[in-house]
């Protein structure tokens, strides 16, 4: 099994990068949709319905599959012989950041349910601030993987 992973290493790495890009695009865009949703729409009006459709499609059709494929291809890379030196710090900082990004994804999914129910109390300003979380995590991940500190 592990030799098969070595044979497909470049394919796995490419698919992992594509998945990460799709996931990050959603993580950057969904909080921005939430800002506009809470600031411009009222429960039940036409803008509320439009935002709900956009948010649902982004989360279910793009972000969830991208997160899952990021994890699948990332774990395949981790299991590929010679790719990760577990005595280094970088795989641990990357793993912690990916777990934090997954938590953020789930936090966004919970806020969507609240927006649908009309019970979301998070103001637009907080969504704007939370929109910086994936950027910070991305910086940690890229520096960890590229610089291998």
CA atoms of 101 and 141, how far apart (whole Å): 10
- Cβ count near 23 (within 10 Å): 24
CA atoms of 43 and 23, how far apart (whole Å): 28
Query: Nearest CA to 32 among 133, 138, 142, 116?
Result: 133
Q: Binning pLDDT at 50, 70 and 90, where does residue 141 land?
A: very high
Residue 33 contacts residue 58 (beta carbons within 8 Å): yes
Q: What is the pLDDT of residue 72?
A: 98
- pLDDT, tens digit (0-9, with 9 covering 90-100), for 62-91: 999 999 999 999 999 999 999 999 999 999
Q: What is the pLDDT of residue 1?
A: 63
What six digits make up the tokens of 79? 């299991």
- pLDDT, tens digit (0-9, with 9 covering 90-100), for 94-139: 999 999 999 999 999 999 999 999 999 999 999 999 999 999 999 9
CA atoms of 1 and 97, how far apart (whole Å): 28
Q: What is the mean pLDDT of residues 9-34?
A: 97
Q: Binning pLDDT at 50, 70 and 90, where does residue 56 land?
A: very high
Residue 99 contacts residue 74 (beta carbons within 8 Å): no
Quote the pTM value: 0.93
CA atoms of 21 and 132, how far apart (whole Å): 16
Residue 137's contacts (CB-CB under 8 Å, 6 or more residues apart) are 97, 100, 101, 104
Q: Binning pLDDT at 50, 70 and 90, where does residue 41 land?
A: confident
Q: What is the pLDDT of residue 75?
A: 97
What six digits make up the tokens of 25? 């695009």
CA atoms of 142 and 146, how far apart (whole Å): 6
């Amino acid at each position: 099994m592990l030799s098969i992973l070595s044979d497909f290493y470049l394919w796995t790495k490419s698919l992992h990068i594509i998945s990460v890009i799709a996931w990050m695009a959603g993580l950057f865009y969904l909080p921005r949709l939430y800002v506009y949703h809470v600031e411009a729409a009222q429960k039940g009006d036409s803008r509320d319905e439009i935002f709900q459709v956009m948010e649902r499609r982004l989360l279910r059709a793009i972000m969830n599959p991208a997160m899952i494929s990021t994890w699948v291809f990332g774990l395949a890379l981790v299991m590929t012989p010679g790719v990760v030196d577990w005595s280094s710090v970088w795989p641990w900082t990357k793993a912690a950041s990916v777990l934090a990004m997954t938590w953020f994804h789930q936090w966004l999914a919970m806020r969507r349910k609240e927006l649908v129910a009309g019970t979301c109390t998070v103001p637009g300003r907080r969504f704007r601030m939370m929109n910086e979380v994936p950027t910070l995590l991305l910086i940690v991940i890229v520096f960890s993987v590229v610089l291998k500190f």
